[in-house]
């Protein structure tokens, strides 16, 4: 079928009367080009019904309308389909006021056949009504509206079905690969089809390396799948190291014996694919093309940062490229099917994908989520994901759900078994998994688990108290004879003073105190609140869970539910259950495990376990990239409500992620790279000295509040905690040429060493040593006063072309001869199709270009008419300014501007103003 993007010339408006008898277009309607995120137009507000889920951004009722002319010359006798890659959510699609399709799930690809509703040689109207106003319906920022690409597909009565070509590698060795190609041909004509199907394979250089032609004789109104086994010699396998992509071209030609010179082309299709095999066993773990692979993974949500949820190929490519450069080789798309644009990027760059179906089955996680439609819709939506994914070599496993509370119950086991069987029916070449949270899966056993855990904690505390009392009494008996009453009173006062100093945080920091993470605080608070039952607010419950997670996930009740869930999965996905790796390696030696969701600060522990056990195939951190919504869970705070589990407005971003929302790498990203063994040079991060000695409020996703800066507006001599991440067995810190000492580092120390020093402007340098030999160094310098606005344009190496833009589409082969000449049918008539999206990273710098992280200020941007503002903002998790406006404020000295070039032939002008600073930047 011919396929082209259909993103131009849509009208959009928000709100309206659902019972309107006359469907018109209100004066308030605006022209939009898809993809379009309607929620991104809303400004966060405190009383939003979505609350922290979406970062205080509301949803609404949206309407999109497109009018188009349908000439008989182009549409008569044709099959016409409109493909929506993503509409959030609960959409109804009408053509000329007739319902032609609908979809409740906001992440499914929807193909709507509009043939019967078309008016030939007349104007037609397609109207999409999107109901996103029932709130809350998502646990994170979903976006709203038609936020992905739309395509029109036009085919003859005889054509290759949409997603009708499926390609799989059967065998692979050094000199050959056997490829299985299944092609579904549809004959919607009332006469017999006498045709042939020719399939040609093109290698990454464009050379034909295999060709097979077979008869394709179909009865009237018949749909048939034709199977071809094709051998490719000297194959170039697809993997993370060699992401080589082949093309499969399928052509239907008529066996019309009246044709004299050339066969008549009836339809054609082109698919991109990779030659690769996979295997899974307890000895070798996961193998790709015969080589064992450990997944260095990250979970990501689907939003595009400051742009919102609108999805673009070049934006997805940028994100995947940055993450791979930082050391990741795998992504878990959480908790919904991946955008085709993201999968194309992973195919090109060599990144493995765990594509996830849903966040819930039959039990709600928010009031109006997909659980309301799950029982009736799961099959068609799961099929939509698998058909979309099938030819993408990057996709290696399907997750059928995330943290499903009922997954280990009898009903949950039945549902999971049915889903797994349906996946295998559609695609038996990939593995299945699910992200299982042991606590959630325990379901009605949670009370029993918490009772056992907290009772044990109480007993432990009582035992400790008894020992302390015995020690005090014994000491008193020895010393009572020599102590006077005055001396005893003085000692008591002194001890009380020490305790007061400890509570106020004014005592001198030691290394253990300097480690501002939640582990010690959480355990102390949890034990103090233990009362033998699981009552209390959510924050208390989460605190107890964090402090005793290892005990909880190893509880017998969790084991029982986990055993049930693992009966229908190829791979057991463990969310926050690292403590079970060793236990299940021994007790369940045939269970293949992946850390489907893990805490970022625990990567050193996790990776050591993964390297130790062959049955544990990888780790997926939560998360690889910060996102809008689930606001505050990663914000370190010093007052309740400013971050963590108690986060409230104006918290907007989650603030977890190796990358912040603008794509700037955070310290934990470099830490992880060192743990993976991919970086030798050390990395320096500095905890916020403005809160030196204060007790930090964190969650398990937070390592500390450190940033990589030695520019602080504090007095000389103030206390500072410096974190040095080091692969070597020893790390040295040097300030202005003076060594502050060496400390143990490397694997035994968790690759993270802390130095408690005093602040002094200048240069701070860290050196990493292995066996006494330097293996790398890094330095930070104090920036001077911010005196200029520096703009750096990100390199855009995304090579977009027609076929890549369309992805799993078709081409129109006009002739079939020895050269197999072909002409792409993608009609890229959309005016924005080839307009470049430009990322400008903006910094407040001193005269020599050092970023001043302490000089945040408001910035205003003005653009020339040939530039469109797509996003303007910073990584500040508490900034509630709308990203579509021309004003923002820097965060740690930085912000970002994203624009689209409306005219690639002429330069665009960006003008930035901040207080007395002014700069003009040309986009050429």
Q: What's the pTM? A: 0.91
Who wins on pLDDT, 215 or 465? 215
* Contact indicator for 307, 871 with CB cutoff of 8 Å: yes
Is 60 exceeded by the pLDDT of residue 824? no
**CA dist., res. 808 & res. 805, Å (int):** 9
* Contact indicator for 83, 313 with CB cutoff of 8 Å: no
* Contact indicator for 635, 877 with CB cutoff of 8 Å: yes
Number of H helices, E strands in the chain: 17, 45
For residues 352-361, average pLDDT: 98
**CA dist., res. 879 & res. 893, Å (int):** 14
pLDDT of residue 474: 54
CA torsion through residues 562, 563, 564, 565, sign: positive
Q: In what order do the strands lie in the sheet with 908-914?
A: 887-889, 858-863, 908-914, 917-923
Plot region of 271 (φ>0 → left; ψ -120 to 50 → alpha; else → beta): beta
DSSP annotation of 110: E
Is 90 exceeded by the pLDDT of residue 398? yes
What's the Cα-to-Cα distance from 659 to each of 71, 491, 610, 665, rounded to whole Å?
A: 49, 51, 23, 4
pLDDT in tens, 31-71: 999 999 999 999 999 999 999 999 999 999 999 999 999 99
Structure tokens of 257?
Answer: 């014996």
Quick one: which H or E segment has residue 411?
helix 410-426
Domains and CATH numbers, the chain: 2-154 (2.60.120.260), 158-276 (2.60.40.10), 282-445+550-630 (3.20.20.80), 678-781 (2.60.40.10), 788-800+834-923 (2.60.40.10)
pLDDT of residue 447: 83
Residues, the chain: 924
Please provide residue 584's backbone torsions phi and psi, each rounded to the nearest 5 degrees: -80, -25
**CA dist., res. 670 & res. 660, Å (int):** 13
For the chain, percent of residues with pLDDT exceeding 90: 79
pLDDT of residue 440: 87
Structure tokens of 735?
Answer: 């300030």
Q: The tokens 């969701």 sit on which residue? A: 597
pLDDT in tens, 643-657: 888 899 999 999 999
Burial of 500 from C-beta contacts in 10 A (0-12 / 13-18 / 19+): exposed
> DSSP labels for 731-786?
EEEEETTEEEEEEE-SGGGTTEEEEEEE--SSEEEEEEEETTEEEEEEEEE-----
pLDDT of residue 525: 44
Structure tokens of 743?
Answer: 């400390």
Q: The tokens 């600073």 sit on which residue? A: 917
| β-pairing verdict for 352-356 and 330-333 | parallel
Is 80 exceeded by the pLDDT of residue 536? no
Intra-chain end-to-end CA distance of the chain, in Å: 38
pLDDT-derived band at 448 (thresholds 50, 70, 90) equals confident
**CA dist., res. 751 & res. 764, Å (int):** 19
Count of CB atoms within 10 A of residue 346's CB? 27
DSSP 3-state of 646: helix
pLDDT in tens, 695-742: 999 999 999 999 999 999 999 999 999 999 999 999 999 999 999 999
Is 50 exceeded by the pLDDT of residue 388? yes
Count of CB atoms within 10 A of residue 515's CB? 17
pLDDT in tens, 851-903: 999 999 999 999 999 999 999 999 999 999 999 999 999 999 999 999 999 98
Burial of 16 from C-beta contacts in 10 A (0-12 / 13-18 / 19+): middle
CA proximity to 693, closest of 500, 520, 504: 504
* Contact indicator for 669, 690 with CB cutoff of 8 Å: no
Mean pLDDT of the chain: 89
Q: Which of 369-378, 457-466, 496-505 has the lowest mean pLDDT?
A: 496-505
Can the peptide bond before residue 35 be classed as cis, meaning omega within 30 degrees of 0?
Answer: yes
Q: Which of 254-263, 365-374, 831-840 has the lowest mean pLDDT?
A: 254-263
Can the peptide bond before residue 611 be classed as cis, meaning omega within 30 degrees of 0?
Answer: no
């Amino acid at each position: 079928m011919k396929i082209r993007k259909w993103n131009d010339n849509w009208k959009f408006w928000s709100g309206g009367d659902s019972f309107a008898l006359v469907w018109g277009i209100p004066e308030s309607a605006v022209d939009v080009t898809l993809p379009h995120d309607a929620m991104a137009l809303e400004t966060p507000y405190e009383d939003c019904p979505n609350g922290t889920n979406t970062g205080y951004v509301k949803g609404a009722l949206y309407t999109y309308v497109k009018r188009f002319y349908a000439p008989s010359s182009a549409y008569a006798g044709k099959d016409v389909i409109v493909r929506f890659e993503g509409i959030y959510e609960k959409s109804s699609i009408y053509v000329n006021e007739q319902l032609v399709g609908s979809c409740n799930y906001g992440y499914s690809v929807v193909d709507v056949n509009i043939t019967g509703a078309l008016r030939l040689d007349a104007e037609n109207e397609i109207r999409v009504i999107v109901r996103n106003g029932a709130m809350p319906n998502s646990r994170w920022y979903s976006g709203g509206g038609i936020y992905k690409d739309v395509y029109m597909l036009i085919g003859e009565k005889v054509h290759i079905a949409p997603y009708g070509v499926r390609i799989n590698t059967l065998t692979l060795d050094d000199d050959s690969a056997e490829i299985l190609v299944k092609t579904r041909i549809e004959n919607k004509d009332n006469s017999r089809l006498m045709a042939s199907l020719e399939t040609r394979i093109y290698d990454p250089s464009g050379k034909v390396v295999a060709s097979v032609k077979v008869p394709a004789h179909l009865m009237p109104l018949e749909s048939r799948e034709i199977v071809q086994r094709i051998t490719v010699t000297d194959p170039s396998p697809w993997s993370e190291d060699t992401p080589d992509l082949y093309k499969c071209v399928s052509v239907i030609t008529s066996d019309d014996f009246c044709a004299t010179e050339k066969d008549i082309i009836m339809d054609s299709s082109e698919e991109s694919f990779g030659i690769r095999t996979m295997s899974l066993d307890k000895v070798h773990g996961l193998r790709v093309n015969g080589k064992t692979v450990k997944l260095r993974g990250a979970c990501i949500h689907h939003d595009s940062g400051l742009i919102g949820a609108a999805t673009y190929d070049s934006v997805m490519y940028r994100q995947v490229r940055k993450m791979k450069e930082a050391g990741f080789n795998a992504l878990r798309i959480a908790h919904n099917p991946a955008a085709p644009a993201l999968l194309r990027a992973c195919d090109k760059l060599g990144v493995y994908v765990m594509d996830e179906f849903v966040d819930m089955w039959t039990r709600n996680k928010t009031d109006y989520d997909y659980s309301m439609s799950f029982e009736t819709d799961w099959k068609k939506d799961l099929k939509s994901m698998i058909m979309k994914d099938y030819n993408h070599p990057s996709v290696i496993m399907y997750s059928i759900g995330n943290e499903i509370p009922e997954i280990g119950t009898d009903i949950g086991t039945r549902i999971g078994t049915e889903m797994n069987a349906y996946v295998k029916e559609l695609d038996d070449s990939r593995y299945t998994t699910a992200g299982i949270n042991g606590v959630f899966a325990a379901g009605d056993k949670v009370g029993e688990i918490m009772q056992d855990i907290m009772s044990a904690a109480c007993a432990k505390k009582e035992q400790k108290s008894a020992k302390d009392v015995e020690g005090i009494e014994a000491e008193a008996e020895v010393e009572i004879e020599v102590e006077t009453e005055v001396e005893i009173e003085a000692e008591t006062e002194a001890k009380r003073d020490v305790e007061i100093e400890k509570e106020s945080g004014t005592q001198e920091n030691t290394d253990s105190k300097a480690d501002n993470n939640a582990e010690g605080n959480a355990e102390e608070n949890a034990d103090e609140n233990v009362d033998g039952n699981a009552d209390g607010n959510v924050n208390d419950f989460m605190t107890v869970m964090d402090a005793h997670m290892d005990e909880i996930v190893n509880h017998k009740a969790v084991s029982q539910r986990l055993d049930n869930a693992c009966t229908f999965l190829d791979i057991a996905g463990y969310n926050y259950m690292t403590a079970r790796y060793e236990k299940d390696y021994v007790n369940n030696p045939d269970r293949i495990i992946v850390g489907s969701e893990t805490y970022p600060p625990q990567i050193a522990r996790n990776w050591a376990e993964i390297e130790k056990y062959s049955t544990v195939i990888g780790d997926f951190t939560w998360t690889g990239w910060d996102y809008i919504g689930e606001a505050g869970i990663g914000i370190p705070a010093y007052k309740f409500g400013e971050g963590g589990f108690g986060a409230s407005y104006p918290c907007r971003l989650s603030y977890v992620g190796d990358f912040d929302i603008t794509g700037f790498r955070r310290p934990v990203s470099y830490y992880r790279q060192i743990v993976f063994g991919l970086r030798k040079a050390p990395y320096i991060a500095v905890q916020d000295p403005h809160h030196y000695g204060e007790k930090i409020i964190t969650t398990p996703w937070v390592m500390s509040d450190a940033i990589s800066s030695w520019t602080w507006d504090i007095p000389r001599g103030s206390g500072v905690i410096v974190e040095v991440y080091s692969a070597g067995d020893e790390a040295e810190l040097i300030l202005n040429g003076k060594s502050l000492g060496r400390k143990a580092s490397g694997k035994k120390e968790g690759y993270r060493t802390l130095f408690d020093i005093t602040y002094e402007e200048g240069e701070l340098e860290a050196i990493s040593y292995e066996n006494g030999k330097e293996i790398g160094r890094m330095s930070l310098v104090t920036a001077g006063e911010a005196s200029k606005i520096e703009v750096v344009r990100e390199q855009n190496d995304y090579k977009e072309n027609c076929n890549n833009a369309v992805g799993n589409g078709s081409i129109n082969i006009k002739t079939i001869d020895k050269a197999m000449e072909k002409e792409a049918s993608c009609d890229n008539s959309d005016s924005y199709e080839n307009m470049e999206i430009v990322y400008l990273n903006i910094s407040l710098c001193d005269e020599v270009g050092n970023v001043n992280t302490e000089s945040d200020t408001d910035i205003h941007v003005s653009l020339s008419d040939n530039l469109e503002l797509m996003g303007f903002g910073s990584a500040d998790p508490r900034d509630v300014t709308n990203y579509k406006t021309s004003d923002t404020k820097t965060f740690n000295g930085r912000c970002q501007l994203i624009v689209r070039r409306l005219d690639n032939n002429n330069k665009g002008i960006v003008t930035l103003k901040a207080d007395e600073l002014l700069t003009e930047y040309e986009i050429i």
